[in-house]
Amino acid sequence: MKRNGNALDAAAPPPTDGVSDAEAAMLNEKRTRILDGIRKLLLHQRFLCLLAQAMMQFGAPLHHLEDNLSRMARHLCITATFTTMPGLILISVEDTATFTSETKIIRCPNGYDMHRLELTDRIFRKVSKEKIGVEEATRELDDVLSAPPMFAWYWQLLNWGLTSWSVCLVAFNGSWLDSLAAFVLGIMAGCLNMLASRLKGFTNLFEVTVSILSGFFATVFQRWLCFGAVTLSATVVLLPGLLLTTGIIELTSRNMHAGTIRTAYALTIAFIIAFGINLGNNIFVEIFSKPERLPDMNMSVCKPVSQWWWWLAYPVAILSISFIINVHPRNWHACLLVAGVMFAVFWVLVVHLELKLIGPVVSAFVLGLASNIWSKVFGHNAYATMLPGMMILVPGSVGVRGVMAMLTSTADVSNTHLVAQMVQTALSIMAGLFASSFVIYPRGKK
């Protein structure tokens, strides 16, 4: 009876009729070596595919992902080329012995999970330094990919509100009343996010639904609230500033496919948010016939709290963003320290000296420098330490201008000028981050 099992295990031994015992032993040994080589090759390829999936799914920058995969392929003696796009990885594996190639297509969702990305990075380094074998590393990667969420759903829900509350005070000139309204709308956005994760059909309506509800309720209470501060704070997690900056970084890194896709997607999200907020406002106007209630995204009409309160709200904002992107609590102090240094520089240059162009460049340079130094000294993932501070730097200087450009049209400041400012600020952040990386790693990471 033929035994079920692996095709390699079930392969029939070579015939030994008419050969001596010594020759038969040599044939069996050769067969065993060939099968072991095939098993090893398949295991290495599976590990490489799992590594690619984990890095993209947990938020690794695509301009680093291809380089890391190429380094790992060389370490595993696999001839392979990689093409990465948001949500898609193409791996072409070549067999130099038979002059054939095989293309593997990996589709996975994009997200940010800094804790699991750090675990994946540790596995990558342990395999590169041959501290563990590929088989053990594959098991560890399987465990990382199947791990449950770090935080319970109710903590995630509360954190959406805290993020909107703190960012309203720090980035959008909000008052205490504005921040309270942003907290409630942030909780609402978190509920809709949980609904989208459970109902696949609602996923495509998530951004526009949050924007419509934010615009509607901000218009209802516009007499007491700052419309721009409340709506932008409620949608702060959705704002496309980080997407646009990442896309420009990838374009500068000559990753044309990924950079073009991200940049176009960021602009699309900006249009969706602007459309939703305007639609929410118009729904109220049409229902209650209140034509005077027009959306005003001008932040100068808001009544902000004292800037000294920023130093209370800013740590809450950093911790909330760290929570959203799943930074492990034992690394929160690093995120606070690095982002605090960046914020101090930003405060001096942009708020007090009003250096609107130089400020983001120097702030991003300090952010990248501090995170890379921390990574080099303590061995943590520099990207995970940098991202919370970068997400604070980006919405205030990029995402706001992008959404305002879609919502306002005045004679003195055109939409084209505001979009140009948005791209200019993204380029400033990119220049600062690249400069800091060059200072720490002038020859690149090894």
Residues 123-138 have pLDDT tens digits of: 999 998 888 888 899 9
Which two structure tokens, joined as six digits, stand for 389? 């501070």
Q: Which of 168-172, 261-265, 297-301 has the lowest mean pLDDT?
A: 297-301
Angle at 169 between CA 163 and CA 172, to 5 degrees: 95
In this predicted structure, what is the pLDDT of residue 7? 47
pLDDT of residue 32 exceeding 90, the answer is no
304: phi then psi, degrees, rounded to nearest 5: -70, 160
In this predicted structure, what is the pLDDT of residue 410? 46
Average pLDDT over residues 105-115: 88
Q: Are strands 88-95 and 79-85 parallel, antiparallel or unpaired?
A: antiparallel
pLDDT in tens, 329-385: 988 999 999 999 998 898 888 878 878 778 888 888 999 899 989 888 887 778 888
Packed helices 382-394 and 114-128: angle between N→C axes, nearest 10 degrees: 150
Go through 297-328 and write b for each residue having 16 or more CB atoms within 10 A of its CB, e for each that does not. bebeebebbeeeebeebbbbbbbbbbbbbbbe
pLDDT of residue 397 exceeding 50, the answer is no
H-assigned helices in 221-255: 227-234, 241-252
pLDDT in tens, 276-304: 888 888 888 888 766 555 566 666 677 88
More confident of the two residues 269 and 416: 269
Q: SS in 3 state form for 76-129?
A: CCCEEEEEEECCEEEEEEEECCCCEEEEEEEECCCCCCHHHHHHHHHHHHHHHC
pLDDT in tens, 226-237: 888 888 888 888
149: phi then psi, degrees, rounded to nearest 5: -60, 145
8 A C-beta contact, residue 49 and residue 91:
yes
Q: Which of 83-92, 169-178, 220-229, 299-308 has the lowest mean pLDDT?
A: 299-308
Average pLDDT, whole number, for the chain?
81
Average pLDDT over residues 158-185: 91
| CA 296 and chain centroid, separation | 30
Q: Report the C-alpha gap between 239 and 394 in whole angstroms.
A: 9
The pTM score is 0.83
Q: Is 208 exposed, middle or buried (0-12, 13-18, 19+ CB in 10 A)?
A: middle
Average pLDDT over residues 157-161: 93
In angstroms, how far apart are the furthest CA atoms of the chain? 100
pLDDT of residue 41 exceeding 90, the answer is no
The H-or-E segment that residue 373 falls in is helix 358-378
Long-range contacts formed by 333-337: CB under 8 A, 24+ apart: 334/374, 334/378, 334/380, 334/385, 335/384, 335/385, 335/388, 335/389, 337/370, 337/374
